[in-house]
Structure 1
C-alpha cells in the first residue's frame, strides 16, 4: 500500500514540476504506449482495455492539437492535420476493433514521438 502511494506521489510530482517540453515528451511517449496496449488488447479480445487505451491515445492527440501554435506557419498546419488523421484512424480502429488499422497508425504515432524527441534534442544542443 505505501509503495503504491509513494509511486503515485512521485508521478504527480514529476508531472507538476516538469517543463512544458518534458510534458510534451511524456505525452508522446504515452501515446505510443497506450496505442500498443490497445492493439494487444484487441488481440486478446479485451474490449474494455482496448477502448480505454484508444481513448487515452485520442485524448493525447487532442491535447497536442490544442497546444500547437497556429502562428508557427505551415509546419504547425501539417502537424495539426497529421494529429487529426491519427485521431480519425483511432476512432475507426476503436469502432471496428481492427488490428490492421492499429498496425497502420502505430508507426505514425511512433514517428510523431520521434519528431518531438529529435526537436527536444536539437533544442538542448542550441542552449
Structure 2
C-alpha cells in the first residue's frame, strides 16, 4: 500500500511489487534470500543498539521469509535437496528465535552463514 507521507518508502514498495509480479519462481527465491540477508543485518543492528521493538519486527520479518522459503519446497518430489533445505530452514527459525530471546547479534551469524551458502548455491543453478 502506498504511503503518501513517505514518498521514498512508497516508491520502494511500488518497485518491489513490480519485481515480485514479474518474477519467476527462481527469481522469487533469489529475492527472498537477498531480502532475508538484508533483514538479518538490520536485526543485528537493532540488537546492538538495544532497539527491542524494532528488533522484534525485524526478527518477525526474518521468520516470515524463512517460512515463505520453506513453504515453497516440494518435499514430495524435491528429493534430498528439498529435505536438506527444510532442515536448514527449521534450524534457521530456531536460531532466529534463540537470538531474539538472548538479544544476541552474534547468534544471528550462523543464520547469515547458512542463508549466504544457500544463496550461492541457488545462484549456481542458473
TM-score by length of 1: 0.84
Task: Structure 1 unaligned segments of length 5 or more: list them.
Answer: 122-127
Provide, for residues 54-87 of structure 1, a one-character-per-residue CA deviation record: whole Å limited to 9, x for no partner.
Answer: 1111111101111111111111111100110011
Moved more, 28-37 or 92-101: 92-101
- Report whether the alignment pairs 1:107 with 2:113: yes
**Higher helix proportion, which one?**
1
What's the RMSD between the two structures over aligned residues?
Answer: 1.7
Q: Residue in 2 aligned with 1:45?
A: 50
Task: Structure 2 unaligned segments of length 5 or more: list them.
Answer: none
Report the CA distance shift for 1:6/1:98 in structure 2 as closer, same or farther (over 3 A). closer
- CA deviation after TM superposition for structure 1 residue 6, in Å: 4.3
Q: Residue in 2 aligned with 1:34?
A: 39
Report the CA distance shift for 1:72/1:14 in structure 2 as closer, same or farther (over 3 A). same
Runs of 4+ off more than 6 Å: none
Answer whether contact 1:89 1:101 (CA < 8 A) is retained: yes
